[in-house]
Chains A and B, each alone.
Chain A
Amino acid sequence: MGRVVIVGNSNARMLDQFLRAVRRRIWYVRALDGAGIAAWYAVALLLLLGAIHRFFFSLTMTTVISIIVIPILLLLARVLLRRPALRECAVRADQEFRGLSLITTAAECADNTDPHDTFASRTVLLQGENAARSWLPEVSTRFRGASSRATILAVIPLFVALVLLYLPGADNQYADVAATAGTTKSKVVDAADDPIQPEDDVATLRNILANEARTEVSTDSVQQRIDSLVAVTPKQVDITAAMPDKSELPEDATVQAGVAGATQTNGDLPGKAIARPEPRNDSMGPAPDFSSREIIALQRTGRDFSGVANSAANYSALNLWENNMPRKIQPAASPESLSQWTILSRSQAEHARRYLTESGNAND
C-alpha cells in the first residue's frame, strides 16, 4: 500500500496519521520482542558456552563475545529493517481496536484512485477517519508484545551462565600433579594458564647474566639491584618461612621456592593446593653452562649460590629473573615447572661451587 490519498470529500489525513502511528508502534513492539528473543538466545548460548568452557575446553572472552554478539546483531537487524506495511498495520489495528475491518476497508478506499467512488466508499472513509481520530491517542498503549516478565526471567540463567564462564576452564581445571600419595590428579584451583618452561627459565637467566656482563655493568650495581628487589618485595619475608627445611626433604629432593611459595604464604589464593614434587635427580635438569664472567657476576652478589635450602639466594636469583622477564610471571606456575627451576638452580649452584673451588685452587 502506498501513501494514503484523499478521496472525494473525505479527508484521509487522520487515517494516514493513525496508520503511521500504528506502524511505528508495531515496529517498536517487534523490536522489543526481538530484543527479548535475542536476550533469551544469548542466555541460552551463554549457558552452552559456559558448559563447554567449564567441562570441555577453555574459551577466551573474545570467542564467547563474538559467538554471541554476531547472531544477536543479525537478529535485531532483521527485526529493525523489516518495516510493516501500512496494509498489515490496518489489519492489526482492526484486530487491536475491534474495528470490524473498518480501518482495513477505509485504508483500501483511501488508496483507491478510482474517481467513480461510491457513496459506500465515502461513508467507509469517513467512518474510518472518525475511528482513527478517536483511536490515535491509544496507539501508544496498545499492540503489546510478549510479556517483559519472560525477558526478566532470563536473568536467572544468565547468572548461571556467567558463573560457568567465570570459573576456570576445563584445560586448567586439572593439573597432573604428582602428589606425594601417588599419581592421582589433584585439583589446583588457580593453576597458571601458561606454565613456565624450564628451558625458558634457563635461557632467560642466562640472557640476563650475559647482558649484564656484556654491558660491563659493575657487579656492584647488580648487587644493588638485587638487594633493592629483595628489599621491596614483601614476599621475601615469607619465603623463608614457606620453605621446607632441608632436613625434611629427601636427599635429592628439591624445594619449592619462589613466587608459588610466597603465594601460599600470603594466602592470596585460598584453597590453593601445592603438591610436593617428586624427588628429582640433578641429572634430570639440563646441564648449566655459564661462562666464567656469569658465574663471577653471580658470585659477586655475595649470595651463597650453593645452598639450595638457602631461599634468600634462590629467591634473589629468581627475583632477578622474574623482574627481567618480558611477560608477567604467573603466581602459580605448575609445580612441575617450579621444581624444574629449582633443580636448575641447584645445578647451577653446584656448578658454580665447583667452578669457584677450581678457580680458587687455581688462584691459589
Chain B
Amino acid sequence: MTEQNYDLDNAMHDLLALEEQLNTVLVGQQGLIRQLLIAVFAGGHVLLEGLPGLGKTQLAKAIAASIDIDLGRVQCTPDLLPADITGSEILLGGNTSTGELQFRPGPVFANLVLVDEINRATPRTQAALLEAMQEKQVTYGGRRHVLPDPFWVIATQNPIELEGTYPLPEAQLDRFICKLSIQYPAADSLDALLNTSLDQEPVDKLQPVWSIEQARKLLVAGQEVILARDVRAGAINLVLSTQPESESASLAAKEHVRYGASPRALLSLVRAARVRALFEGRAHVAFEDLAELAHPVLRHRILLHTGSELEGNTAESVLDQVIAEWSAAHNLARTIQE
C-alpha cells in the first residue's frame, strides 16, 4: 500500500477512532466533536463558545492526549501581556551573565494551544495571537521563530460574562476556521458523565491513538479529496450569497447583512468540507458537506445591520435563511431535511 493509498483508505478509520475516543471524554457532544475534528484536520483554528463547566478545556486536553502532541495553555486575563503568550528573551547566565539574550518560547509554541477565555485578554494581547495563528510564526526582537507543525489554536470564550471582556475584532475572528458552540448535554449524557468522570478525569486515562506523523499525513490527505467543478461553483455561490453587494446575494443577506463572508471563508469552507468527506469515507466533496459546514464556518464571519440585530435577528437565523435559499437552488432541501 502506497502512502497515497493510506491517506484515503485509512483516513476515515483513523478519524473515526479518534472521534470515538473523544466521545468517551466529552459525553453527549458528538456533533461538536465531529465539527471540532473537521476544523482541526482542515488545518484551522477553532473558537469554542460555551458556558463554564461544559468541558471545553477537557476536550482540548483530550485531543492533545489522543494524538500525542504538545499542549500549550493560556488563561487569559486583562493583565496578560503578549510576551506571556509568545515568549520573551531572558538574560542568560544570571549574575555571571555575558549579556546574551535568549528567547524563551511561550505557551504558543506547542502543537495545540488552548487559549481559555480569549475575550478577557486585552486587544493588544489578542493581537499577539494574530501572527501566530495566520503565519504560524512568532517574531520577537526582530527574529522569526517558527511554530511547531502541526499548530492549532483552540480558543474559548464565555458568551455571558461581558463585563471586563474585549470582544474579538472581526479581523481576528476571521482567522478561526470555525466557531463552535457547546450546548448543555442531555440527561442521559449527564448520567454517563457521572459514570465516567465522577472519580477521575477520563482524560488522564487516554492513550494516544495516533502519532503526530499520522496527524500530519491526515492533514495532507484532505488535500487529495476531489472538488468537482459544480461543487466548487456551489461553494463560491454560497459564500457570495452572504455578501449583500454581490449579484448572487440571497434575499436574507440583502436585508440583514452588513458585511458578508470573506474569501478566506471560502477557503475555510472547502477545506473543512474535504475533511468532512474523509469522515464520510468519500474521496470527493459533496454539496451536502458545504451545507452542513456553512453554519460553523460562516456564523462568525457575517456582520448584521444594527437595526436587524435590534429586531432580534442573529447571524444564525440569517444564515439559516441564506442556506435555505442556497439549498433550494441546488435542490438539496429534501436531502438535508431528511
Contacts and interface: CB of A to CB of B under 8 A. Distances in A.
Interface of A: 87, 91, 94-95, 98, 100-102, 104-106, 108-109, 118-121, 123-124, 127
Contacts of B331: 95
Contacts of A91: 230
Contacts of B4: 118-119
A109 B227 CA distance: 10
B229 interface: yes
Contact of B224 (A95, A104, A119): A119
A101 B331 CA distance: 12
Given A104-B230, A120-B8, A123-B283, 5 more contacts: A91-B230, A95-B332, A105-B284, A119-B4, A119-B224
Contacts of A108: 226, 228-229
Nearest to B287: A101
Q: Which 4 A-B pairs have the closest CB atoms?
A: A101-B286, A100-B286, A105-B284, A120-B283
14 contacts: A94-B286, A100-B280, A100-B288, A101-B285, A101-B286, A104-B228, A105-B231, A106-B284, A118-B224, A119-B5, A120-B8, A120-B224, A120-B225, A123-B283
Nearest to B331: A95
B335 interface: yes
A123 B284 CA distance: 9
A362 B231 CA distance: 112
Nearest to A96: B331
Interface string B1-13: 0101101100000
Interface residues of B, number: 24
Nearest to B2: A119
Nearest to B223: A120
A120 B4 CA distance: 9
A104 B282 contact: no
A100 B282 contact: yes
Interface in B309-335: 330-332, 335
Nearest to B285: A101
Interface of B: 2, 4-5, 7-8, 224-226, 228-231, 280, 282-288, 330-332, 335
Contacts of B330: 95
B320 to A, nearest CB: 21
B228 A105 contact: yes
Contacts of B231: 101, 104-105
Contacts of B2: 119
Contacts of A104: 228, 230-231
Contacts of A109: 226
Contact of A124 (B230, B284, B287): B284
Contact of B226 (A98, A100, A124): A124
A317 B322 CA distance: 87
A125 to B, nearest CB: 10
> By CB atoms of chain A within 10 A, which of B231, B283, B335 has the most?
B283
Nearest to A123: B283
A104 B330 CA distance: 13
A108 B335 CA distance: 22
Contacts of A123: 8, 283
A134 B7 CA distance: 27
B226 A87 contact: no
> By CB atoms of chain B within 10 A, which of A87, A95, A118, A119 has the most?
A119
A44 B282 CA distance: 50
> By CB atoms of chain A within 10 A, which of B7, B282, B284, B331 has the most?
B284
Contacts of A119: 2, 4-5, 7-8, 224
B5 A102 contact: no
B9 to A, nearest CB: 9
B284 A101 contact: yes
Nearest to A99: B286
Contacts of B288: 100-101
Contacts of A87: 230
Contacts of B5: 119
A202 B328 CA distance: 77
Contacts of B282: 100, 102, 127
A102 B284 CA distance: 7
Nearest to B332: A95
A118 B4 CA distance: 9
Nearest to A119: B4
A87 B231 CA distance: 12
Given A95-B331, A100-B282, A100-B288, A120 B226 contact: yes
Nearest to B281: A127
Contacts of A120: 8, 224-226, 283-284
A127 B225 CA distance: 14
A100 B241 CA distance: 22
Contacts of B287: 94, 100-101
B92 to A, nearest CB: 50
A231 B228 CA distance: 90
Contact of A105 (B224, B226, B332): B226
Contacts of B224: 118-120
Contacts of A100: 280, 282, 286-288
B327 to A, nearest CB: 11
Contacts of B280: 100
A163 B230 CA distance: 51
A175 B338 CA distance: 67
Contacts of A95: 330-332, 335
> By CB atoms of chain A within 10 A, which of B2, B286, B332 has the most?
B286
> By CB atoms of chain B within 10 A, which of A95, A106, A120 has the most?
A120
